[in-house]
Copies of this chain bind each other. A is one copy, B any other.
Amino acid sequence: MTDLVLLSGGMDSTAALAVSQHAGRLGAALSIRYGQRHAVEIDHARAITEHYGIQHYILDLSAWGALLSGSALTDPSVDLPYGHYAAESMKATIVPNRNATFLSAACGVAISLGHDQVVTAVHAGDHAIYPDCRPEFIDALNEAIALGTEDAVHISAPFVHVSKTQIAAIGADLDAPFELSWSCYEGGALHCGRCGTCTERIEAFRDSGVPDPTVYQSQAA
């Protein structure tokens, strides 16, 4: 009865890890390399697992990312969009079928390590742009994986109906180490403060009233 938490190193999965620990189910964390330009997030994930004293597994799917083209997250020839996360322009950051791939791979790893649940931090704010973050997708994949593994493992998506602002509040209540987390798609030395995911991060802290521990390089108005 333990969780393998998919930990990108961002604030959502950091809060999901805090929720799992609070529930007494925290087993280990799994981070995935897929050729993302912001691979610095993996170092942040490592620091977060050290904070919790849990095992951190890293799965290298960069060969998969290399076969994909056209996503701003993995293809250096595509420009990163700036502005609001929910905007149409953010579709450039779609990695095709990413969550089915990551969750399926993670479920195999969980079975092998003896965990019976994989936790993903997909949240309500992702629904507009990313079809593989919607509750009906998570439900359907859960059904498929239950059938494919004879119920050995399930997916939990505690934030699938929760906004990022609420995630900030929940995480703060549970002492999630947000100061160790990383959101920025640019993957520079500091959060850029202008890309879609920085914009979303800034809003979540501001709207929840949780102090934002992040140092931004610049900040859009």
* Chain B residues, Cβ within 8 Å of A150: 131
Q: A169 interface residue, CB < 8 Å from B?
A: no
A152 near B112 (CB under 8 angstroms)? no
Query: What is the total number of copies of this protein in its complex?
Result: 2
Contact of A148 among B67, B68, B70, B100 (CB under 8 A): B100
Q: A15 interface residue, CB < 8 Å from B?
A: no
* Chain B residues, Cβ within 8 Å of A136: 147
What's the nearest-Cβ distance from chain B to residue A118, in Å? 10
* Chain B residues, Cβ within 8 Å of A144: 100, 137, 140-141, 143-144
Q: A218 interface residue, CB < 8 Å from B?
A: no
Of A5-13, A38-46, A101-109, A197-205, the segment with at least 4 beta carbons within 8 Å of chain B is: A101-109
Q: A187 interface residue, CB < 8 Å from B?
A: no
Of A17-25, A55-63, A208-216, the segment with at least 4 beta carbons within 8 Å of chain B is: A55-63
Given contacts A59-B64, A63-B59, A108-B64, contact A137 B147 (CB under 8 A): yes
Report the interface size class on chain A.
35 or more
The CA of A108 and the CA of B67, in the complex, are separated in Å by 9
A67 near B63 (CB under 8 angstroms)? no
A112 near B96 (CB under 8 angstroms)? yes
Contact of A97 among B70, B108, B131, B132 (CB under 8 A): B108
**In the complex, chain A residues 138-179 whose Cβ is within 8 Å of any chain B Cβ:** 140-141, 143-145, 147-150, 152-153
Q: A80 interface residue, CB < 8 Å from B?
A: no
**In the complex, chain A residues 113-133 whose Cβ is within 8 Å of any chain B Cβ:** 113, 131-132
Among A100, A140, A149, max chain B CB count under 10 A is at: A100
Contact of A105 among B64, B69, B134, B140 (CB under 8 A): B64
Interfacial residues, chain A to chain B (CB-CB below 8 A):
57, 59-61, 63-64, 67-70, 95-101, 103-105, 107-109, 111-113, 131-132, 134, 136-137, 140-141, 143-145, 147-150, 152-153
Sample of 8 A–B contacts (CB below 8 Å): A61-B63, A68-B109, A97-B145, A97-B153, A99-B148, A104-B104, A140-B144, A140-B147
